[in-house]
Structure 1
Amino acid sequence: MTVAIALRAVRDSDLPALWEQLSDPEAQQVAAVTREYNYDRKEFDAHWARVRGDASVTMRTVLADGVVVGHAAVYGPPDEREVTYWIDRVHWGRGIATAALAQLVGLESARPLFAHAAADNTGSIRVLEKCGFVVTGRGRGFAFARGQDIDEVLLTLA
């Protein structure tokens, strides 16, 4: 079954679905590196208002067959641009993240692009590698979702 994947500007009507996706405890555990806005709706609303108002952030809603299934973004200063994405857990394993990230990096001319992932998040690492990112570093960082330091990988798209 082929799924039509599209990116579009985030709309106010997308926010309830994005909140539900980002506040999913099982997905948070897999992603590991979460922020306060993943746990508090007021923080979520403030964060999304900030990023949607920042012209340097490329923020897109991910649609699968017209349904909001996540978001993808590029942010940061010109020489440190980083990608991030989040796909609703019920849609994992269908190629949606890979297709969405490929479209997103096509919108962004800056290179290199960077990404971070929990070292045990093999699904996310695989998505990034399919889109041309390569592992260029390893480190440790605090994973809010897990309440402890974890191993991380840094990936780069040259």
Structure 2
Amino acid sequence: MITLRAVETEDLEQFFVFQQDADAAHMAAFASTNPKDRSVFDHHWGQLLNSDDTIVRTIESDGQPVGSIAAFEDEASREITFWIEKRFWGQGITTEAVQKFLTEFPQRPVTARVVIDNLGTLKILESLGFTETGEESSFSNVRAKVVQEKILQLD
């Protein structure tokens, strides 16, 4: 059973461990350059949790935190971002969590940015009705190079 709930302090310990997975960081492309730097992690999460323009939830599977999902104001829309612990990939958890989040927060349009080789995330977003609206080049600290991102939108 997948649930979304407010982020609790204890969740941050799990999120810090999750971000240290090199494969997950590579797919996300826009994680911290040094995932073991707790001060950078704490600063980032402090900004997320203290922003009036950001909605953040812990994703739970059977009562266990398995990831996070957030939406923040970005120009004329709300942008969504999420992170699921690697061992839960491919189980439908992310799709269900994003679907629940979008139901809980029906403000539209919603955008998402995905590195073009992150096929799993692209598939999830497209299955939920997101359509490609463009591409953009951005520098990825994790990959130490410029990457192509697809920009998707849900109206």
Instruction: Report the TM-score range of the alignment, normalised by the length of the smaller protein.
Output: over 0.9
Query: Counterpart in 1 of 2:100?
Result: 103
Using the alignment, how far apart are the partners of 2:34 and 2:107 within structure 1?
27
Deviates more, 1:86-95 or 1:143-152: 143-152
Q: Which of 25, 29, 52 is the equivalent residue of 2:26?
A: 29
Structure 1 outlier segments of 4+, above 3 Å: 35-39
Does the 8 Å contact 1:141/1:152 carry over to 2? yes
Query: Counterpart in 1 of 2:82?
Result: 85
RMSD, aligned CA:
1.5
Gaps of 5+ in 2: none
Gaps of 5+ in 1: none
The size of the alignment, in residue pairs, is: 155
Using the alignment, how far apart are the partners of 1:147 and 1:37 within structure 2?
12
Determine whether 1:15 maps to 2:12.
Answer: yes
- Percent sequence identity over aligned pairs: 34
Query: Where in structure 2 are the equivalents of 1:97-136 lying within 5 Å?
Result: 97-136=94-133
Pair 149,78 (structure 1): closer, same or farther in 2 beyond 3 Å: closer
| Equivalent residue letter for 2:66 | V
Using the alignment, how far apart are the partners of 1:26 and 1:42 within structure 2?
22
What is the TM-score of this pair, normalised by structure 2? 0.94
What is the TM-score of this pair, normalised by structure 1? 0.92
Does the 8 Å contact 1:37/1:47 carry over to 2? no
| Equivalent residue letter for 2:85 | D
Does the 8 Å contact 1:61/1:70 carry over to 2? yes
